[in-house]
Structures are given as C-alpha cells and as structure tokens.
Structure 1
Amino acid sequence: MSSSLPPTPTLSASHSGIPSRLLPKATKAKSLIYAGKTTPDTIPRTRGLALPQGISKPAFLSAISSLRAILGGENVEINDGELKNGWYMEHPNTHDMMPILSSEEFVASAVVYPGSVSEVQTITQWANQHLIPISPISLGRNLGYGGSAPRVRGSVTIDLGRRMNKILDINAEDFTCLVEPGVTFYALYEEIQRRGLGDKLWIDCPDLGGGSVVGNTLDRGVGYTPYGDHWAMHAGLEVVLPQGEVVRTGMGALPGNNTWQSFPYGFGPVSDGIFSQSNFGIVTKMGMTLMPNPGGYESFMYTFQNESDLAPLIEIIRPLRISNILENVAQLRHGLQTISVKGLPRTTYYSGSGPIPESIIHEELKKTPTGDCTWVYYGMTYGPPHIRKYKTDIIDAEFHKIPGCRKIDPSTLPTDEYFWSRDKIAAGEPDLEELLWTNWVPNGCHIAFSPVSPIRGTDASKLYELAKNRHAEAGIDLMPAFCVGLREMHLIVEIVFDGKDEGMKKRAEKCLRDMIDDAAALGYGEYRTHLALMDQVASTYSWNDNALMKLNEKLKDALDPNGILAPGRCGIWPKRYRGRGWEMMQTGAGSSEGNGVAPSPGEAKI
C-alpha cells in the first residue's frame, strides 16, 4: 500500500473500524482500490453549501447555531468544504461515494451526532420548528444503493452510529441481542467472541461486515446462514416518530416486559413493517435473534459448464431449498465474478471495448483453481457429520444431473481463494472480500439491479436474458448472482462503472432504468434500489391505481405532517413536496431537485 495511505482504523479505535484479525485484508483491499484511482480523493465544491429549498442561508445558519447550543458544537458539523470519498471502511457520511449522478446532487448541508434517544427527539423537534429536512443513517455503508446520501439535497444528516453504538444485551439463553444503530456486524461478532460465547451463538452477516445490523435489517438485507432473512429475524423496535414521540413495538410496549426480543408481535396490529424501507420513523434500538451453533458445518462449491444450465439447475435447487436440504441463502454466481473478485483491473484480461468476450472469460477461468465454467454455486450444510453427509449426498446426486457438473474439492483451493470468504460468511463470521470486484474499472463504483422472483428456471432465464441484453446495449460487463431464499430468489446484478467517466455513468444509469422497466413488464419488482431509482421502482408497484402508494402517503402525512423526515425515501413524498417535480423517473432523470416545497400551515417559518 502506498505510504501516503494511513492504516484503516480498527474496532478498538472506532465503532466503524475493522477487527484487528482482518486488518491485513483491509490493507490489501485499500491498496488495490487506491491503485485504480485516477482522481483525487477529495472533490472540490462548485455549488457551495447545499441549502434545503425554501430556507435562506442566514436562517439555516441561525437554526444550526440553535442546535449546536443544545447538542454541543462538536456534535453538529456544517458540510461546506470539499467532499471526501474514501472507501468502504472510511466512507463519507455527507454524500454517496459511488454517485451515479454528480456528487453534489445527493449531498447533506450538515451532519449531527445524537448521543441518546432524547437527543434524537430534540433533533426531530428542531427540524419541525425550522422546516428543515433530516435524513437518518445508521452507518451509511449502504453502498450501491446510495450510501450516506440524503434523497433531498441540503438535508441535515443524522448520523446515529458515532455516539449510539452500544450492544445493549446479548442473551445466551434466549439467543437474542439488542443493539443500537452504530453496531456493525463486525462489532457484534467480535463481542460474542470476547464474551466466550462463540461456541454457542452465531450471527448472520451480509457479504461485508462493516454495515449496521440495524440499518441492514431495516433495508431488508440478506445474509447467508439459515437466518439469512434479516428482517424476519428482528424482534422489537424502539422508534422516534417524526414529531418526536417514542414508541416501542411488539412486547416492548408492555412496561416491564421480559419477552421483547423473544416474541416479535405483542398484541394488536404489527406496526414494525412500516418502519422498514420507509421514512416514518427513526429506529434507535432493535432486537435480533441469534442462531444456535449447529455443531458443525461444511462448505461446498459446484461449477456448471454451460450458460444454458441455469434453468434446469434452478429447477433442481427449488425443491432442495424449500425442503431445507440446501439450508442457507446460498449464491449461484456467474463465472466472471470468480475473475473480478480477485481485485485486478479488467485490462489484466481484456482491453477492448464492449462486454468482455465469453471466450476470454472461459480462457481466464481455466487458469483458476475453480476451473472453466459459467456458473458457480456456493453452499453450506450444517450439523453433525452424519447429518451433513446425508444432505450432501442428496445435493451431489441432484446437482450431477446437470451434464458437466463438477464438485470442487476445497483441499485443492489456496487459502486466498474467494471460496474461503464465502465459507466464513456462511458460518456467521464477517469478512472483507466482496467489493474487490469494483476494481474491475478505474475509480470503481457500483449500482445494483435487484429484482425478486419465484425459484423457477423460466424466471431465472427471463431475468438473466433481459439483463444480458441491456448490458450488451450499454457495453457493460454483466455480473449476475442469484441469491436463493426459501421460496424466492433475488437476482443481484452489480453494474460496475468508472466514477470519473460521465459517459459510462449515463450508460450505467440507463441500463439499470431499462432493466427496471423490462422486469416490471414481466411481473418482477426490485426489493431494494438506489436513491436515484426509488421513484421509478415505487411506481412499478402500481396495482389498483397506485393503492399502495396512496396508503403510504396517508401514513406519511399522518405521522409527519411537516414532511421533515427523509422526504422521498423509497418514493414516499410528503404532501409539501408532491406535484413539484421531485420524482426522478425514467424520463427526465438527472436532477435530484424539484421546484421548492409548499408552506406548512400552522408551523413557524423562517
């Protein structure tokens, strides 16, 4: 690594740091990323301080001064200097470090750091008084989906992670925990090990462990053990509503309750769902269930030679997955990702224009320990040896119905092979490998296409073909992965682009927007998307004259009459913003701003 790059902070120094055991990986990853940068890490501002529309600069600065007087000057920062991008482990909290638009489109005016629930209440009350939009983040590592950026330019970011990062409880008898927003998967795992509970308790983590347990779960992220559906595994929320009230959901509403993390429902309507992928409240505590150590595990990897193997393979996977013979949220990835995840630039293999030819992909794969293939399946089985053998024998017999199927012997794989990262993650141990494929192009950024479908071969083929066609039009390499749940599968297509190349950025955005429309026409919807795409994705859920969005707007207007909390998140706009051009759709995309906001009757204006 260049001597000009300081070492990555560790967990002992920062709530958002890397575990010491992963510091060598972090050092390597950081050096590879910076080796591919052709632009400075800091971005000069051309548009000045981003102010919320309808707020003058003097009025804004006066409001900020009043907030500083309450929270302390060190906990309120105005964002009027250069923008610094950093990388995954040292990311910005003011904007999106992987912008598909200009870095100054989705940018905060200031950042505040509450240290308690009462301070979060204070901030919401302040925002209502001054009609300033606020945008909460847990850690802001939602890369590929907008990172830390607010949807409305000039919003004040509430960074919950810096000072609200406590693990409030780990219950080894009930297999649950209670955490604040600043707790990362790294931190939760390391604390379980520190307490000597690693032989008993497992966590479930996504591809990278630096994200917030709360933030990832609220955005309905997935992991790779049998507990991979994170939202299904949460139990109990504490939420600050947009006007400052605090509620606890489920059993938490009962004073002195003793089952908040043990039973997620309580009595009456289950309200938790309205705080997931929404702008209806700020979650300050969340309970999660933990997985019992299964008493053993065994990772396995199969390769399949032909592109046409996709549909019959998915048909084999479905009954195995539904019956839990295939136990975890496993991944079926394209062979190109086996190459790209090594972290080397595309020019190592091909310097031509357009998508890398399949012949070159196959030739390069022949040189890898995985060998030549089109598809790679990463899975794991759990339990004592005789239980694992029973399951793996069934899996092996079924997978070998595909001609050319190969089971890769893990003992033949070097210690730095990507397989071992998947092995750790599927055993609940957070790692740091996944984003190495962003080095595929200089100044590597990514944005994700994430549709959901049934586990059917016809569905997999349709989605793969539409993605392949649109990538060919855009001249972008296709990197698809199917993440298979119990009765659905997520297709995650990471579009990797050069953040400095404006032409490539426009092609990447158009490719993604076209795929969203193509998928919707076939009956498939995204489960998650980037800030710039939220309006378009929300508009595809339009059954019965947009009845769902109308319900969301009613909830928004009732809970947040002044429209201050994360306006526009997930396509949900407050009444003050509607009909003023804030929505970013397929046509007219490129600007994040509308034409002002309406007055809020009965509220003080400045």
Structure 2
Amino acid sequence: MSGSEDLDLLPTPLMSERHSGVPSRLTKEAAAARSRLYANRTLPSSKPRLRPVRLPPDTTEEVFAAAVKSLRSSIGAENVVVNDQPLEDGWYLEHPNTHDAFHVVDQEELVCSAVVFPGSTAEVQTVVRWANEYLIPIYPISIGRNVGYGGAAPRMPGGVVVDLGKRMNSIVDLDGEGATCVVEPGVTYFSLYEEIQNRGLPLWIDCPDLGGGSVLGNAVDRGVGYTPAGDHWANHCGLEIVLPTGELLRTGMGALPGKDGADSPTWQSFQNAFGPKIDGIFSQSNLGIVTKMGFWLLHEMNHQSYCVTFAKDEDFAQIVDTIRPLAQQGVLGNIPQLRHIIQELNVTGKSKSTFHGGDQPMTREEIRQAASELPLGDCAWVFYGTQYGDAASIDRQLDVIKAAFSEIDGTKFWLPKDVPHDHYLHSRVQVCGGVPILRELDWLNWLPNAAHLFFSPIAPTRGRDAQVIHDIVAKGHHKHGFDLFPTLCVAGREIHYIANIIFDRADAEQKKRAVRLTRELIRDCAREGYGEYRTHLLFQDQVARTYGYNDQALMKVNEAIKDTLDPNGILAPGRCGIWPKRFRGKGWALGVDDVDMETIAAKL
C-alpha cells in the first residue's frame, strides 16, 4: 500500500513470488500488457491522501486504535495493516486491496480503514468475533480483482477489508479420479491450472476471460466462463463458511463428518445434503465468509474453436433466434459469445485515437472503415463458438451450425487457421480449452487511464427480447457519449448481455456521465422486465430494489435472514443491497436519483 514505490519500475509479479502473480509462461505477455497500459496513462502512480485514515462508522480514533492493537495481538502485527498510505491504483496484476482501482467516485470515497490478512479458517473466525466485539464492519475479498464491479472496495467507507487471498491460497484437495478440487479463496485460475499441469492430470478448469481472479470468489459472485462447465456456481460442490457470529458451517455432504475426524468422502461428489439446500444464500450475499469451496472439473477433450461473422447490424435479432435452438438442442458445445465488431478494434490493444479523432463515440462509418482493415473485415456481429468431441462429431456439429447460420445473408465462417496468429480467435481457443490467459486486458488501452463499469442484464434467448435491451443500451450510450461494447454470453434459454462502459478515471466529467448512464440503464431495462445479474457496488441498492415483486418480498426475506445470522450487522453491510437493521434506513442506500458525485459522496 506504500506510495513510495514506482510501479513502472517493478517487475511483473510471478506466481512463484506472490499468490496473485502470473505464471512464468505468461511473463512476456504480462509485461507487454502493462507497458501498453502505462504508456497510455496520465495519472500518477499515487497521490497524497487528502484525509487521514477513514474510520469505521460510529468509531472513534481511540476505539479504532484499541481494536487494531487487539487484533494484531491475536493474528500477528504484520497481518493487520492500517490504510494510511497513498492509494495505488496499480493494474490487474498489481491491484489494490484498499479501494476500487477503477474508482467511479473519488479515489478516497470507497476506501477501507485497514486490511487484515487471516491465514486460516480459525483466524477468519477470530477476525469475525473481533468485529462483533468492536462493532466494526468487515468486508471479505478473495483476490480483489472484481474489476468493473467495485474491485476490493468496501461498500461502507471505513470498513475493514479482510483479504483472504494473501495467506489462504491453498489447493486443499485435487482429486484426479473424481475430477474435483477444493480451494481456498486465494487460489486463482492461473494457480489451479498450473497445479493440474504440474501433476499431469488430464483435467480442465473453466475460466473467465482473465485468469488472475479467484476461482472461489468468481463462483460466489456467480460469474461465468465458456466451456461446457461455464456456469461456475452450478459446478460448485460443498462450502465451508464462517458465519457472521464466528460459528463454522459446512454445506452439502460436508455437513456429515467423515470417519475418525476426516472430511466426508462424498463432500465433492454430491451437491446436496438432507433437508433444505442453503448453499445459495451464500452467493452474492453478506451472510457468511466462504473459506473453502469444492468444484467439479472437466476431463480433457478434443475441441475446435471458430467464429462466424454477420454482415448487418439489423441481423441481431435473427442471429439470437438462430442460436437458441442450436443451444437448446445441445449442438453448441459451450457458452458462446456474440460480440459487436467494435470489440475487434479495442481488443487489438490500440487506443481509440488510432481509429477516431475527438471525444465523441465512433460513428458507424468509422467503425466500418476501421474494421475493413482487420482480418475479419467489415461486418457487424461476430459469433465465437467452440465444439467438443472427436473429429468426426465436431465436423457433423459444424455442418449443422453452418447450415443454420447460412440462412442469414452474408455470413462467413472462420477457423483459427484462417486468421493471423495474434487474432482474438486464437485466445478463444485457449480460454474455451480451459487455459487461463491475459488477452482481455488489451481493451483497457481504448482510453487513457481506462477503467470500466459492467452493465449486465439478463434476457431470454429470443431476438425480440435481446433487441429491446440492445436498443435501450445503445440509446443510453449515444445520449451520454460512450462507445458501446456489447458482449452477449448466449445459452439456450437466457443471455447475459454485458455492456462494457469504458471511461477515463482521470476525467471527472466522464465519471459523472458513466454514473448517469448506468442509473438510467438499470431503470429503463427494469421497466421492461429485465434485471441485472451482477453490478458495481454503487448500483447494488438500485438493482436490488428493481426485484420488487409483491412489495419487496425478496428483500424482506433477505433482511430477515441477515438480521438473524448477523445480529450486530458487521459483515459487509450493504453488499448486494442488503443492509442490517443497525444501518437500515440511515441514509446509506443509493438510488436512481443519486447521480451526481456530491450527493453520492455525502451518503458515503
């Protein structure tokens, strides 16, 4: 957390040196990605703090000092760090654990008072009991790379971040016969993949676009990947949880003790136990701290990635309707992506200024002209898919897919051999084959000091529904002056429509417009019956309240469970819009009208 080091001169951290580092196979790629980002940066590595330590709410300096002293005596002085140094935004592999590196409000608003590094489940229990004693809010993170959704920031400024990843980063179990694993929060996709390779196991992981995130953390936040096991939460099996009182719980078959004190041999084999299944209340919630989590892994398999290009913007609804039966019938092998052609520009790693002059969004003609110089040429939409199985079955699958898409005029089919070695399709080959990479960092070069927010509504896999969302999102981006970068993760019955709102975090006006845009998109999509599956900390209250059927019945149940499990309201108050009784109705919540920085700052 020190501001004295110049991050430009530091070597890229390796996994052998730091739990959150990069594997040696990606050293060159990581260094090149960082060089491109830093060459496009005008912000300093850090700036002087404008205020002293941001204290927890309702806590005096004397009480905070006594609390810190007490916790240091319990888990070690070196494992409790007060956040009184300049704030470093860093970059993906040197991320902060004190605040949001992609800060939308001022850097010092969503900031913690201290960071705690427990080294075991028992020490997590100690931290939780300490928080109850001093009534200090704590915010657990796994790695802190929840980029686009708030990163490592606490929702309530002054809360204490509990960084689980630094010391709790063990692969507890890796079962080649059962194709399962058990991991702690600090295990990244990189580290799990490398361990599988080191052991020579014929297994795959499923990873999202970037490989440095927490396997556990992404699943708890219900993130997705792209292989047949792309629904990470659906492929978890067994949780170990520290409750807000400090008690310890295991779900599923883990609730059954094994012989002679061992874990149950079926903990990672069967997702359920006896009686109500409660795993779900610990995903996207503030009802417990997950310290261990089991997962089902895939067996190695032959695969073939490809892409299909579509000529016209207005083909969008027909493309979605063509995908639906292919996905429902199991023809499509994975969770594919449908991306607008502008994504082909920003994933080159080149800045927007390469293709466009000025601050306004690129025109459609500019996008068309720039795309015509790229390998896929001038088109509107690009579908990235992967098929699995033996060569003959893959060929049959591709014949069906080609025939279906050929009903749309102007489609073209591409294999990796048809494009240059540095084209994005080759990255999809790796990700869809269970290999975690770093390629998606390149789109952050689009603007200087680039940061982003994700707007992520869910639609049925029907062209008319997808078109309604797309029109709302496109209209909002045009109104507020942002380039639209839509990526759709398309399954048989639902679509994750993910709009990536890229802004310059040194530009206060752009930040204001990004907030206004997001507020309006949440509101306007909800009016049509479409809600987000995940959102940034600043918008969680608003999104949670859009799920308001029967006078906010869902929120009332969430609050009742929160007050029962967390009577002192110490665990991540406000996360996912759930506030404990202690803070409920006290002005902390942010709503649709909180669109200017001064109003938001006053509530924080």
TM-score > 0.5 by shorter chain: yes
1:502 maps to 2:508: yes
1:308 maps to 2:308: no
Deviation readout 1:446-491 (Å, 9 max, x if unpaired): 0010000110000111111111100000011000011012321100
Deviation readout 1:229-262 (Å, 9 max, x if unpaired): 0000000000000010000000000000211011
Contact 1:583 1:594 in 2 (8 A): no
Contact 2:129 2:246 in 1 (8 A): yes
SS in 2 for 1:183: coil
CA distance in 1, matches of 2:413, 2:368: 18
SS in 1 for 2:97: coil
Alignment match, 2:94? 90
Contact 1:152 1:592 in 2 (8 A): no
Q: How does 1:9-88 map to 2 (within 5 A)?
A: 9-88=13-92
SS in 2 for 1:471: helix
Alignment match, 1:240? 242
Alignment match, 1:254? 256
Deviation readout 1:379-420 (Å, 9 max, x if unpaired): 000010011011000001101111000112421312111111
SS in 1 for 2:502: strand
SS in 2 for 1:416: coil
- Identify if the C-alpha distance between structure 1 residues 336 and 548 changes in structure 2 by more than 3 Å, giving closer, same or farther: same
Alignment match, 2:367? 361
Q: CA RMSD in A?
A: 1.2
SS in 1 for 2:92: coil
Alignment match, 1:226? 228
Deviation readout 1:275-304 (Å, 9 max, x if unpaired): 00000000000000001122x110011100
> Deviation of residue 104 (structure 1)?
1.2
Alignment match, 1:602? none
1:475 maps to 2:481: yes
> Deviation of residue 370 (structure 1)?
1.3
SS in 1 for 2:394: helix
Contact 2:558 2:578 in 1 (8 A): yes
Contact 1:101 1:505 in 2 (8 A): yes
Contact 2:7 2:45 in 1 (8 A): no
> Deviation of residue 266 (structure 1)?
1.0
Report which stretch shifted further, 498-507 or 38-47: 38-47
Unmatched 5+ residue regions in structure 2? 1-5, 259-263
1:129 maps to 2:133: yes
> Deviation of residue 595 (structure 1)?
7.3
Alignment match, 2:3? none
> Deviation of residue 438 (structure 1)?
1.6
1:173 maps to 2:177: yes
Q: How does 1:130-529 map to 2 (within 5 A)?
A: 130-197=134-201, 200-256=202-258, 257-294=264-301, 296-529=302-535
Q: Read off the aligned partner of 2:159 and give its amino acid letter.
A: S
CA distance in 1, matches of 2:211, 2:498: 18
> Deviation of residue 587 (structure 1)?
0.9
Report which stretch shifted further, 478-487 or 139-148: 478-487
- Identify if the C-alpha distance between structure 1 residues 583 and 228 changes in structure 2 by more than 3 Å, giving closer, same or farther: same
Aligned residues with identical type, % of pairs = 53
Contact 2:12 2:93 in 1 (8 A): yes
CA distance in 2, matches of 1:209, 1:171: 21
Alignment match, 1:538? 544
Contact 1:153 1:592 in 2 (8 A): no
CA distance in 2, matches of 1:226, 1:550: 35
Alignment match, 1:547? 553
CA distance in 1, matches of 2:111, 2:495: 33
CA distance in 2, matches of 1:4, 1:586: 39
Q: How does 1:548-587 map to 2 (within 5 A)?
A: 548-587=554-593
CA distance in 2, matches of 1:246, 1:382: 41
Contact 1:202 1:290 in 2 (8 A): yes
CA distance in 1, matches of 2:335, 2:497: 12
Ranges of 4+ aligned residues in structure 1 off by more than 6 Å: 593-596
Of 91, 105, 111, which residue of structure 2 is paired with 1:101? 105
> Deviation of residue 327 (structure 1)?
1.6
TM-score by length of 1: 0.96
> Deviation of residue 3 (structure 1)?
10
Q: Read off the aligned partner of 2:320 and give its amino acid letter.
A: I
CA distance in 2, matches of 1:496, 1:549: 31
Alignment match, 1:599? none
Contact 1:151 1:592 in 2 (8 A): no
Contact 2:541 2:577 in 1 (8 A): yes
Contact 2:83 2:115 in 1 (8 A): yes
- Identify if the C-alpha distance between structure 1 residues 228 and 454 changes in structure 2 by more than 3 Å, giving closer, same or farther: same
